[in-house]
Amino acid sequence: MATIFSKIIAGEIPSYKVAENDKFYAFLDINPLVKGHTLVVPKKEVDYIFDLEDDELAEMHVFSKSVALAIQKAFPCKKVGEAVIGLEVPHAHIHLIPIQKESDMLFSNPKLSLTAEEFVSIADAINKAWVEGQK
Protein backbone atom coordinates (compact mmCIF):
# COMPACT_ATOMS: atom_id res chain seq x y z
CA MET A 1 0.00 0.00 0.00
CA ALA A 2 1.35 3.42 -0.97
CA THR A 3 2.35 5.80 1.81
CA ILE A 4 0.84 9.26 2.13
CA PHE A 5 4.14 10.61 0.78
CA SER A 6 3.93 8.38 -2.31
CA LYS A 7 0.40 9.69 -2.86
CA ILE A 8 1.68 13.26 -2.53
CA ILE A 9 4.48 12.60 -5.04
CA ALA A 10 1.95 11.04 -7.46
CA GLY A 11 -0.30 14.10 -7.14
CA GLU A 12 -3.12 12.09 -5.55
CA ILE A 13 -2.93 14.28 -2.42
CA PRO A 14 -2.18 18.00 -2.76
CA SER A 15 1.02 19.46 -1.34
CA TYR A 16 2.94 22.70 -1.28
CA LYS A 17 5.88 21.66 -3.44
CA VAL A 18 9.10 23.63 -3.13
CA ALA A 19 11.49 21.54 -5.24
CA GLU A 20 11.63 18.35 -7.29
CA ASN A 21 13.95 16.36 -9.48
CA ASP A 22 13.75 12.87 -10.96
CA LYS A 23 14.56 11.17 -7.61
CA PHE A 24 13.39 13.50 -4.82
CA TYR A 25 10.46 15.68 -3.86
CA ALA A 26 10.45 18.53 -1.33
CA PHE A 27 7.29 20.03 0.11
CA LEU A 28 6.14 22.03 3.10
CA ASP A 29 5.26 20.20 6.29
CA ILE A 30 1.54 20.86 6.90
CA ASN A 31 2.19 20.91 10.66
CA PRO A 32 5.25 23.16 10.67
CA LEU A 33 7.36 24.08 13.67
CA VAL A 34 8.29 27.35 11.93
CA LYS A 35 7.60 28.97 8.57
CA GLY A 36 9.66 27.20 5.92
CA HIS A 37 9.64 23.75 7.62
CA THR A 38 10.11 21.44 4.64
CA LEU A 39 10.18 17.68 4.08
CA VAL A 40 12.47 16.01 1.54
CA VAL A 41 11.47 12.52 0.44
CA PRO A 42 12.81 10.05 -2.11
CA LYS A 43 10.37 9.18 -4.86
CA LYS A 44 11.36 5.58 -4.27
CA GLU A 45 9.25 4.25 -1.42
CA VAL A 46 11.62 3.19 1.36
CA ASP A 47 10.58 3.15 5.02
CA TYR A 48 13.89 3.64 6.82
CA ILE A 49 16.32 6.24 5.51
CA PHE A 50 19.31 3.99 6.21
CA ASP A 51 17.81 1.30 3.97
CA LEU A 52 18.57 3.55 1.00
CA GLU A 53 21.61 2.53 -1.03
CA ASP A 54 24.69 4.60 -0.19
CA ASP A 55 24.55 6.54 -3.46
CA GLU A 56 20.82 7.26 -2.99
CA LEU A 57 21.39 8.51 0.55
CA ALA A 58 24.23 10.74 -0.64
CA GLU A 59 22.09 12.12 -3.49
CA MET A 60 19.23 12.77 -1.07
CA HIS A 61 21.53 14.82 1.15
CA VAL A 62 22.92 16.78 -1.80
CA PHE A 63 19.34 17.53 -2.95
CA SER A 64 18.43 18.46 0.65
CA LYS A 65 21.40 20.84 0.73
CA SER A 66 20.08 22.69 -2.33
CA VAL A 67 16.66 22.96 -0.70
CA ALA A 68 18.18 24.09 2.62
CA LEU A 69 20.11 26.86 0.86
CA ALA A 70 16.87 28.00 -0.78
CA ILE A 71 15.05 27.95 2.57
CA GLN A 72 17.82 30.04 4.12
CA LYS A 73 17.60 32.55 1.28
CA ALA A 74 13.80 32.77 1.51
CA PHE A 75 13.70 32.79 5.32
CA PRO A 76 16.84 34.35 6.75
CA CYS A 77 17.91 32.30 9.76
CA LYS A 78 21.06 31.34 11.59
CA LYS A 79 20.98 27.84 10.10
CA VAL A 80 18.68 25.29 8.56
CA GLY A 81 18.44 22.36 10.92
CA GLU A 82 18.10 18.81 9.68
CA ALA A 83 16.23 16.05 11.47
CA VAL A 84 15.54 12.46 10.55
CA ILE A 85 13.01 10.77 12.78
CA GLY A 86 10.83 8.70 10.49
CA LEU A 87 8.33 7.29 12.94
CA GLU A 88 5.22 9.16 11.85
CA VAL A 89 5.20 8.07 8.17
CA PRO A 90 6.79 4.83 6.90
CA HIS A 91 8.59 6.63 4.05
CA ALA A 92 12.13 7.98 4.45
CA HIS A 93 12.19 11.73 4.89
CA ILE A 94 14.35 14.60 6.08
CA HIS A 95 12.96 17.60 7.95
CA LEU A 96 14.61 20.90 7.02
CA ILE A 97 13.78 23.61 9.54
CA PRO A 98 14.99 27.23 9.50
CA ILE A 99 16.23 27.92 13.03
CA GLN A 100 17.35 30.86 15.12
CA LYS A 101 18.03 28.73 18.21
CA GLU A 102 18.27 25.01 19.04
CA SER A 103 14.83 24.92 20.65
CA ASP A 104 13.27 25.71 17.23
CA MET A 105 13.98 22.03 16.42
CA LEU A 106 11.95 20.59 19.29
CA PHE A 107 9.15 18.53 17.79
CA SER A 108 7.25 18.89 21.07
CA ASN A 109 6.87 22.62 20.36
CA PRO A 110 3.41 23.81 19.31
CA LYS A 111 2.87 23.59 15.56
CA LEU A 112 1.99 26.67 13.53
CA SER A 113 -1.47 27.05 12.07
CA LEU A 114 -1.11 28.64 8.65
CA THR A 115 -3.65 29.56 5.98
CA ALA A 116 -3.54 28.08 2.51
CA GLU A 117 -2.43 31.48 1.24
CA GLU A 118 0.48 31.51 3.70
CA PHE A 119 1.54 28.01 2.62
CA VAL A 120 1.42 29.04 -1.05
CA SER A 121 3.46 32.18 -0.36
CA ILE A 122 6.08 30.22 1.62
CA ALA A 123 6.33 27.47 -1.01
CA ASP A 124 6.63 30.03 -3.81
CA ALA A 125 9.42 31.91 -1.99
CA ILE A 126 11.43 28.73 -1.39
CA ASN A 127 10.82 27.42 -4.92
CA LYS A 128 11.93 30.73 -6.45
CA ALA A 129 15.16 30.63 -4.41
CA TRP A 130 15.67 26.95 -5.29
CA VAL A 131 15.22 27.55 -9.02
CA GLU A 132 17.66 30.49 -8.87
CA GLY A 133 20.17 28.25 -7.08
CA GLN A 134 19.96 25.65 -9.86
CA LYS A 135 21.24 28.10 -12.49
- Residues with catalytic function: 93
Q: Which residues pair with 82 in a beta bridge?
A: 96
Q: Is 62 exposed, middle or buried (0-12, 13-18, 19+ CB in 10 A)?
A: exposed
**Chain CA centroid to CA 117, Å:** 18
Angle of helix 54-74 relative to helix 116-133, nearest 10 degrees?
110
